[in-house]
């Protein structure tokens, strides 16, 4: 969604220094999208492989919740980032806000393709949009997202990439 106050805004690396990063980076390592050890420090040596992490909103929003205007304003930056990756095949959206932001970058109304955890949706330009509940501490503590659920989504992405 956006940089977290205690995470990316403080450390300079998305999901580093906050609870959500533990599940995200452990899963990326497990499925070969990252290499090294995640120690919640940008100098820990962790390296992403064939993946990139971007936020739908570029700045820490008030009350840590992006407003619709912020998302619309920042969409041009997300669009440019996606366009700058000519080999991009899959985008994993963490949560409804990110799902909608990715669709907007493709000129698709968010109402046309609903957010469904675990869904892999083919977009008209050949890109696949994968959806997962956000890896936030709240979602993990309430059981909305478990490690197994997130691993299934990332595993499905890996399978999709290997089969192509």
Predicted confidence at residue 120, as pLDDT, reads: 97
- In contact, 17 and 72? CB cutoff 8 Å: no
In tens digits, what is the pLDDT along the chain, a chain of 164 residues?
A: 544 545 554 555 677 777 888 999 999 999 999 999 988 788 888 899 999 998 887 665 566 667 677 777 778 888 999 999 999 999 999 999 999 999 999 999 999 999 999 999 999 999 999 999 999 899 999 999 999 999 999 999 999 999 97
Whether the CB-CB separation of 64 and 1 falls below 8 Å is answered with no
pTM of the predicted model, to two decimals? 0.88
Q: What angle do CA 75, 77, 81 make, to 5 degrees?
A: 115
* First CA to last CA distance, the chain: 29
Going by the DSSP 8-state scheme, the letter that residue 13 receives in this structure is S
Structural domains present in the chain: 8-163 (3.40.470.10)
For residues 93 and 102, is the Cβ–Cβ distance under 8 A?
yes
Instruction: Return d(Cα 160, Cα 17) in angstroms, integer.
Output: 30
State the pLDDT at residue 142: 97
Q: Is 31 left (phi over 0), alpha (psi -120 to 50) or beta?
A: alpha
The pLDDT assigned to 12 comes to: 58
């Amino acid at each position: 969604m956006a940089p977290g106050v205690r995470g990316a805004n403080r450390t300079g690396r998305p999901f580093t220094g906050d609870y959500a990063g533990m599940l995200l980076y452990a899963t990326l390592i497990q499925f070969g999208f990252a290499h090294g050890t995640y120690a919640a420090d940008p100098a820990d040596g962790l390296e992403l492989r064939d993946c990139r992490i971007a936020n739908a909103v570029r700045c820490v929003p008030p009350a840590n919740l992006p407003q619709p205007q912020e998302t619309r304003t920042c969409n041009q930056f997300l669009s440019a980032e996606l366009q700058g990756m000519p080999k991009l095949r899959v985008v994993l959206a963490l949560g409804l806000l990110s799902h909608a932001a990715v669709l907007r970058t493709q000129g698709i109304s968010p109402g046309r393709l609903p957010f469904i955890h675990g869904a892999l949706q083919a977009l008209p330009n050949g890109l696949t949009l994968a959806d997962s509940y956000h890896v936030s501490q709240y979602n993990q503590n309430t059981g909305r997202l478990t490690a197994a659920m997130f691993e299934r989504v990332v595993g499905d992405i890996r399978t999709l990439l290997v089969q192509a």
